[in-house]
Structure 1
Amino acid sequence: MDIGVVLPAVPAAANLVDEVVADAGRAAELGLRSVWFPQVFDYDAIALAALVGREVPGLEVGTSVVPIYGRHPLPVAAAAQTAQAATRGRFTLGVGLGAKSFVEPVYGVPHERPAAHLREYLTVLREVLATGSVDFAGEALTARTPVPAALPGAGPVPLLVAAMAPLALRVAGELADGILPFLAGPRALADHVVPELRRAAPGDPRVVAAVPVVVTDDVERARAEAVAALSFYDGIPSYRRVVELEGVASAADLAVIGDEDAVAAQLRRYVDAGATSVVATQTALAGDEDRLRTWRFLGELAQEGDDFVERGAR
């Protein structure tokens, strides 16, 4: 089973790229299989993934996630192909709709009919990544390649979507390789998210569950940090929905926090629920010492591979 981590920004670093490359190397040394990068405002997630994958051989890299509003699919496809060539096939492109309350004031574009917009966006991405060309005119997007857009050395680019709502899951199942849900707990995954995805997906889609994880003895402190870091999501309808489907009061309640045994037991619930991979987020909530403890333990679970999955299924 692939277990990875989201690498956070390091604001105190003299050079963020150098620091993130070093962190990724440390994560790989501890046994983690993949590192993922959110799209923020001070770096480009696809470019950073390409650099890290180039510098740390063998490590899988991906974006979690690139918002589709504000970026046309053709330059995103070009960037993804560049990352795939740079990493020699170890890059995964994760995209997402973003929240209306964020997209409209930040990008100045309407967040309307998101599932329909996602369908057009993925249609363009899939076509140009698969064939190197596209001729598409939809309601929200137009994309035409006047010259071939296939990059030598790139190879196929796996495509994941941060989908959790029924319509978005249907589109992702039809047009992507899987999903990358965040804050969808085991009950929400097993009862709602995974069944909806599999009804639409023709094969065996990937379910890369992004989960806040901290291995620590100072549970109280980490819980307080989780509340501070995750309460933002309680005000976003899409996240609020999956929190309620899980039967918990807030997004912070979905943080997996505790010692090694407690964390392993909780992560096995995600395996039982249909997750094919787990990506740990917010691993720095309890400080650098516990972050490394978390990475070390998750690396051990990743090295167990099928043994961990089989124990989760029992």
Structure 2
Amino acid sequence: MQNEHVMQPSGSPFASKPARERVGLVVDGSNAAQAVQTIVAAEKVGVRQIWMTQSPLNPDTLSILAAAAIPTTSIRLGTAIIPTYPRHPLTMALQALAINDLAPGRLRLGIGPSHRPTIEGMYGIPVVKPLEHLREYVEIVRAGLWQGKIEHQGNFFHVNATLPRTAEIPILISTLRVGAFQLAGEIADGALPWLCPVPYLLKTAIPALRQSAARHGRSAPPVVAHVLVAMSDDRQAALSATRKQIERYGKLPFYANMFADAGFPVGPGGVMSEDLINSLVISGTPDAIVARFNELLSSGLDELLVLQVPVKDAASERAQLAQLIGQL
């Protein structure tokens, strides 16, 4: 499964990196101790990047990554994503700084506004102009981490603080629709799309990001594309497991709108079509999965963020997937 040179037609600087450096594994954070064990095990089998999301009622992701930073030495630690509304940007910057102290240069901080049903329904925080809020949030976090000093008087935040030291931690943002990709091109160090069909990324989203970056005199930041992987050669079982795992996303307005933009409108009640499910999940033999990874990395995607879809034996399949990524 060795694959040291994947060509990419876009001319991206990521094209020269080995595939193993461009494929990261999503780690479940529902149990903090188990998550740390999974990260340690992933590093041992050669995985170079893990990602964790902050689900609404899971243990705190940044705390888990701080714990995982100590028993590991080189694996990169990424968040995809930490919701912005429940956490003050100065607090976010200080938490990121703590992880950088423990694991210098290994954290990539992915943040985003999350969704109205969660932020308004669970936290009771109004979601107003989420992209403008995210722009301001990134500005504050970057000032704190990269310059060590925040003097911000904005529409959403008023922050004045001097941090004890700087840390140029990459700040990535969640991206679904064109406006978010344009914002990533303008201000972020990476884009984190979640459940976006690959044709939509290649034909619509990535061009919008690159055009925005060019307009603002920046190099285009990497797109870390989310892909689902079922370690099974039973395609129907993989599709069934995928639907069960992600069906709730069709009911979330931000995702429903993105799916419509991508040509896969959801049905009544947010039901996702068979074509959409089929487009989102990779399955098959290990060799077939590796071949698909290579195709995606050659197509114009900078990196992959791989989420396991368990089919029969979650623990065994998770170990197989980690080993597969570690051997790319």
TM-score range, shorter chain: 0.7 to 0.9
- What's 2:316 paired with? 289
Contact 1:94 1:160 in 2 (8 A): yes
Contact 1:30 1:296 in 2 (8 A): yes
Report the alpha carbon displacement of residue 246 of structure 1 after superposing the two structures with TM: 4.2
Aligned residue type for 1:100: R
Secondary structure of 2:223 counterpart: strand
Aligned residue type for 1:289: S
- What's 1:233 paired with? 249
- What's 2:287 paired with? 261
Separation in 2, partners of 1:113, 1:21: 36
- What's 1:3 paired with? 23
- What's 1:108 paired with? 124
Alpha-carbon RMSD: 1.9
Secondary structure of 1:209 counterpart: strand
Change (3 A) 1:97 1:141: same
Separation in 2, partners of 1:222, 1:8: 19
Contact 1:68 1:95 in 2 (8 A): yes
Separation in 2, partners of 1:186, 1:105: 31
- What's 1:33 paired with? 48
Contact 1:126 1:175 in 2 (8 A): no
Separation in 1, partners of 2:194, 2:58: 22
| TM-score calculated relative to the size of structure 2 | 0.83
- What's 2:225 paired with? 209
Separation in 2, partners of 1:186, 1:269: 11
- What's 1:299 paired with? 326
Separation in 2, partners of 1:22, 1:142: 39
- What's 2:8 paired with? none
2:163 equivalent to 1:149? yes
Change (3 A) 1:20 1:259: same
Separation in 2, partners of 1:104, 1:241: 19
Contact 2:245 2:309 in 1 (8 A): no
Contact 1:118 1:168 in 2 (8 A): no
2:61 equivalent to 1:45? yes
- What's 1:128 paired with? 144
Separation in 1, partners of 2:35, 2:100: 19
Of residues 99-108 and 219-228 in structure 1, the stretch that sits farther from structure 2 once superposed is 219-228
| TM-score calculated relative to the size of structure 1 | 0.86
Report the alpha carbon displacement of residue 163 of structure 1 after superposing the two structures with TM: 1.2
Contact 2:50 2:76 in 1 (8 A): yes
Separation in 2, partners of 1:269, 1:186: 11
Q: 2:301 aligns with which of 275, 284, 290?
A: 275
Contact 1:39 1:65 in 2 (8 A): yes
Contact 1:50 1:91 in 2 (8 A): no
Change (3 A) 1:188 1:272: farther
Of residues 43-52 and 275-284 in structure 1, the stretch that sits farther from structure 2 once superposed is 275-284
Q: 2:208 aligns with which of 184, 193, 196?
A: 196
- What's 1:19 paired with? 34
Report the alpha carbon displacement of residue 194 of structure 1 after superposing the two structures with TM: 0.8
Separation in 2, partners of 1:25, 1:176: 29
Number of equivalent positions? 292
Separation in 1, partners of 2:193, 2:294: 17
Separation in 2, partners of 1:244, 1:297: 33
Report the alpha carbon displacement of residue 247 of structure 1 after superposing the two structures with TM: 4.0
Aligned residue type for 1:3: V
Report the alpha carbon displacement of residue 166 of structure 1 after superposing the two structures with TM: 2.0
Deviation sequence 1:201-249 (CA, Å, 0-9, x none): 2113111112111221343333222111101111223322443444453
- What's 1:94 paired with? 110
Aligned residue type for 2:306: A
Q: 1:164 aligns with which of 166, 176, 179?
A: 176
